[in-house]
């Protein structure tokens, strides 16, 4: 599903809109990365209960983490201004600017004695740091854009942002629904996670590889606002 969403975002960004590489990369990354953990987990637990949360975590680990570690970083290496020039330099940037991939490899190779209980507890605390840093980065970038007169608050919708909103909020859940039609018993939490807004991790990829951070930040703001308003409306109606 993530591959199809990414290809659709590429189609809008490159052949149709003919965006500059950093902006096109930001559109693709913002389309394939969803806020499944920080926003998705609480929503699943609140709306569907604890059993649904367990299923949601499984979906997130299998789909979202691989999309982030492999797909998003690959897009950043291909479209970013900080990834070098030429195929070899960009491949090198994908591996050496991808801390998740390096950490995953080291984690698999490390013996069990390298992961005492205290290290596991510390890692769980550190996982929360990107949430704080991510929201701070979004606010800082938007503030700078407003101060320089580049954009207004709220930011005006534009074509790259429209492409992200379509791919992230409409295409992603629609494709998941189509792909799962032949199967029965698909957990409802999967569909809720599929409609989550752009994830904060898009800022991490954008900063590491030199994608357009303004597009990433605006995508987070707009898609998150739309999803929260939709959930609020659903709650009032239900």
What is the rounded CA–CA span in Å between residue 168 and residue 175?
11
Q: Which residues contact 71 (CB under 8 A, 6 or more apart)?
A: 2, 3, 6, 32
Q: State what percent of residues in the chain have pLDDT above 90.
A: 36
E strand or H helix at 190: helix 188-194
Q: Is the pLDDT of residue 83 over 70?
A: yes
Asked if the model's pLDDT at residue 26 lies above 90, the reply is yes
Cα separation, 208 vs 190, whole angstroms: 29
The per-residue pLDDT for range 134-159, each reduced to its tens digit, is 567 667 766 776 676 655 666 677 89
Q: Does residue 22 carry a pLDDT above 90?
A: yes
């Amino acid at each position: 599903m993530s591959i199809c969403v990414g290809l659709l975002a590429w189609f809008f960004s490159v052949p149709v809109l003919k965006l500059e590489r950093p902006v096109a990369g930001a559109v693709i990354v913002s389309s394939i990365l969803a806020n499944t953990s920080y926003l998705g987990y609480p929503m699943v637990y609140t709306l569907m209960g604890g059993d649904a949360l367990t299923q949601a975590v499984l979906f997130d680990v299998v789909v979202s983490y691989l999309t982030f570690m492999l797909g998003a970083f690959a897009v950043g290496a291909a479209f970013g201004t900080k990834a070098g020039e030429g195929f070899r330099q960009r491949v090198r940037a994908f591996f050496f600017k991808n801390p998740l991939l390096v950490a995953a490899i080291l984690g698999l190779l490390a013996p069990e004695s390298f992961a005492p209980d205290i290290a596991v507890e510390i890692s769980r605390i550190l996982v929360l740091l990107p949430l704080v840093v991510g929201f701070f980065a979004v606010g800082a970038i938007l503030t700078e854009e407003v101060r320089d007169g580049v954009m207004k608050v709220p930011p005006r919708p534009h074509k790259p942002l429209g492409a992200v909103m379509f791919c992230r909020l409409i295409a992603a859940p629609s494709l998941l629904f189509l792909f799962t039609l032949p199967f029965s018993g698909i957990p409802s939490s999967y569909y809720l996670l599929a409609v989550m807004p752009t994830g904060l991790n898009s800022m991490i990829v954008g900063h590491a590889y030199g994608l357009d951070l303004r597009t990433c930040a605006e995508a987070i703001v707009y898609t998150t606002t739309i999803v929260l308003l939709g959930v609020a409306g659903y709650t009032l109606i239900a």
